[in-house]
Structure 1
């Protein structure tokens, strides 16, 4: 007894006769179940005569009994069926993906046909590829969404670089630990008579005369404690005359940096509170931004935030507590505030925005706390509703996980959460009973312990079919 194919692409047992000795028909069927989700018994006229189903959600396959196998698939799949059934073509160990039509939906199935050496019937073993197809679609949608977000990031970075380079006064960014210059704009290079890009990587103190370097270090230490520390007057290396150096700290990727403004007296250097460039960027940025005080009352907001909460103007929002808009009252903001006090920044915090008209929008929030006598809290709010809509929706409701149910606390009442979970479980039980009884609703009502009328009422409520039972 040998199972090796003509083209030698299979490696059989060394002693198959002893291996399969004692196997019954049921054992053989169980082996076949391991290979696929269901099996079709096809006669010499290519008509489906019987079906064996491995899992409960393949009850639709029973509708194919009595039909020609080729008539159950889409037009483009029919040549593959002919090839699988063609005895003159070697189909051993060959799988073919075909698509079945079912209630307007195309169901992808992978088939392999087995024909006994002594017999006219075929056995087609099928593997349901719907889960694979759904994962592929979800991956594609997610990839497209990531590409759009990446493009948005690149555009934002380009705008930042243009803004940074075209500021008329000298500005540089230095690492707070090593004082190494990370970036310097054109005006800074021109002030130092340096070639474009030559300042990056140098020490910030190297551009200051030696006798003033201790003053710069002392100023950095002072401003780390008190942001109101006045600028320090120093002389730059190789230059006569004094300049004013003002610094402000910011964090990126967990590291602290200094933004250094150099006032050489030839350019107008705005104060940190009235920097019109920064204000213009914040006002016109596509993501919502809001600045709040320690009590979470709104101090400043941009137009994008006003649009997100459906406000007529930004002025309408000033003084209103952010608890009115962000997440569950006193819950989400409380969590954000606690994390900000522990870590100074938060990224991609999932929440919802409650607008003035009663609507909700899923969002991601990034936040930062500015430490001073009266701390300030800045929130960047990005809507992720489009991203969630991009992801494919499943054909039917599946039960929520425990984590998903707990996320509803504060958004829905306990009664609503319990009712939603009960409806999902009830629908799944009815579907399972219908599959188990091959859509015989009288039998389904009996195994569920319901009257027929009660079952028909529940079918209608869940949208599972009309009221005409298949008895």
Structure 2
């Protein structure tokens, strides 16, 4: 603190009354307290402040610590200690409780009056400063909220810009260079982002249409109204409709350019994979079918239509798959039951029947799926196995049907025919065993089987074993 260098010459004999007026005029609130902190006198510069802080006149005789809030009482002790012991005047901000509800902040400093029992405490009303600080805080919070809103808006714009299926790019209005381009634009131009950005927008259009692009941008720049033009791309020759709009950002003029292709825009990512899968479904060599949960056909490929002798897919749509697959009412029911239980079946052997009587041995694999509406459905892959090459050469005594093949006939043929087929298999096996035991002696084999030789020769020819009964030998006997 710097004081007057010649106070006696400058101020002369300043009396107590003049000093009191000077102190009251220079400060907002002035207190005279003793060494115990008890207020002995008080003065206010403004009546409004006096009414708010000491409207009932309770300050006189009260301790200074008792008229401040509890959280600032320690500052009053430090203030009085600095003035009495350390003789170093300091400023301390304290709060006075107010009947209006809000505390009144006051900045105090204490100095000794030259008497051992008196201190002068002067204070400055900080409400105006606190109000300005609060306004500054409110302004800062408002700016932060606006910044957050702008950041969220930019995030939404960027997300929309990136996922849009329409080709969109930002072009500098002065240089006509591409500032930003979304993935649909890169797919349409068939160029990477590093090559597209900061390149001339007209370069991506056919030579005959580059001037039309430049003229459209110039019209939009001069009039401020949106412009359109029909142009052709340079790389693919695809016809596009170009739309341009002018906007300003950060003191710069920019074009928002949209390209609407007259043909399909090349698909990227997952969309291209889906397209490839759909194409494979249609042209696959194996029959492929999608059905509802109850087995009604939703979609079938060309191979299925060929195997079932159908003219088009509409003839199959809505029909039950067991109209063509397996034994009616048996195989498909078994397959659907397994699909609903386990979610998949593999290499299920059955037959596929055509509309005009053709049939083929097939193997069926299927899985349970959910469609786009999350409804359950099934996907079937059906492979024709009739032309499959045998894994091992057949022996000359191979049976026409094995026991497994006979089992597969259940449900396909009447039981009477199945019993007759089974009897034929057992009869053939018995004859072959008898011939093998007798060393191909037909007479001994007939006696072993309890047959006449003539009956044995008839059965040999019936089962394709005629090499054991030549025509000449049969005639002699």
Q: Which has the higher contact order (CA 8 A, sep 6+)?
A: 1
Task: Give the TM-score taking structure 2 as reference length.
Answer: 0.48
Q: Over alpha carbons, which structure has the higher Rg?
A: 2
TM-score (norm 1): 0.49
